[in-house]
Homo-oligomer: A and B are copies of this chain.
Amino acid sequence: MASGHTVKAFDEDLGQLRALISEMGGRAEAAIIGALEALVNRDLESAVRIVEGDRRIDELEAEVERQVVRLIALRAPMADDLREVLAALKIAGVVERMGDYAKNIAKRIALLQEARGMEAMAVLPAMGKIAAEMVRNVLDAFVLRDAEAAVAVAARDKAVDDFYNSLFRTLLTYMMENPHNITASTHLLFIAKNIERIGDHATNVAEMVYFAATGQQMAERAKGEDPLSGDI
């Protein structure tokens, strides 16, 4: 019975840890979508709120760290359980970074008050929506230990990359057409890059979730043979 007790307490602690990470993910997801809405609407007040809201995500990560220390000290988890706890810690770190990307997007909005009529600004929210959904779906997959859902998340990263590559070309064309577009296009390019990185991080989490659930590595994403090609 004592052993059953310990297992139950560990599972409850792990559940609490997962709930904290889910909350971080929900906030990161909302920040991504909110930042891109604020961009399109030139809404500086929302931008400020998103930047300031990132502190809460940072605090939640610190709370995850404290819980992990407490959980390990109290329950002394072994092997697989310990690996799972450390995976949760790592995932919390990734979600914290996703929050930073959303914050960085929000910070650029003040620099884009004069950008007008740029198609890219209409496309970025659609790109951000996919990335934000990847964040939500991968954290759901993490909570449910759902390897199949993790694979589905990783599969969507190509859509985000395609958006990025298309925007890269579009924005460079804007710049070439009119030097007045160069500063704004550069900021939009960095925003697109931030969204692309969020997709990459969601994919990395998907790989961790898959590994935790199956004990195997997710099949390699299609990559070019040339080491100098691919994600930059």
Residues of A within 8 A of B (CB): 44, 47-48, 51-52, 65, 68-69, 72-73, 76, 78-79, 82-83, 86, 89-90, 93, 104, 106-111, 172, 175-176, 179, 182-183, 186, 189-190, 193, 227-232
Q: A62 → chain B, closest Cβ, in Å?
A: 11
Q: Which of B48, B69, B179, B227 contacts A48 (CB 8 A)?
A: B227
Interface centre among A72, A79, A83, A193 (most CB of B within 10 A): A72
Closest B residue to A168 by CB, please name it.
Answer: B186
Q: A124 → chain B, closest Cβ, in Å?
A: 15
Q: Give Cα A48–Cα B48 distance, bound, in whole angstroms.
A: 42
User: Across the interface, do A47 and B228 meet the contact criterion of CB distance under 8 Å?
Assistant: yes
Q: For the A-B complex with A73-B79, A90-B93 known, give 4 more contacts whose Cβ atoms are closer than 8 Å.
A: A73-B78, A106-B228, A107-B230, A190-B193
User: Across the interface, do A232 and B172 meet the contact criterion of CB distance under 8 Å?
Assistant: no
User: Across the interface, do A73 and B82 meet the contact criterion of CB distance under 8 Å?
Assistant: yes
Q: Which residues of B contact A69 (CB under 8 A)?
A: 79, 82-83, 86
Q: Give Cα A12–Cα B182 distance, bound, in whole angstroms.
A: 55
Instruction: Kindly list the 10 A-B residue pairs having the minimum CB-CB distance in the complex, ordered from nearest.
Output: A110-B228, A176-B179, A51-B227, A107-B232, A175-B182, A104-B232, A48-B227, A107-B228, A176-B182, A108-B232
Closest B residue to A182 by CB, please name it.
Answer: B175
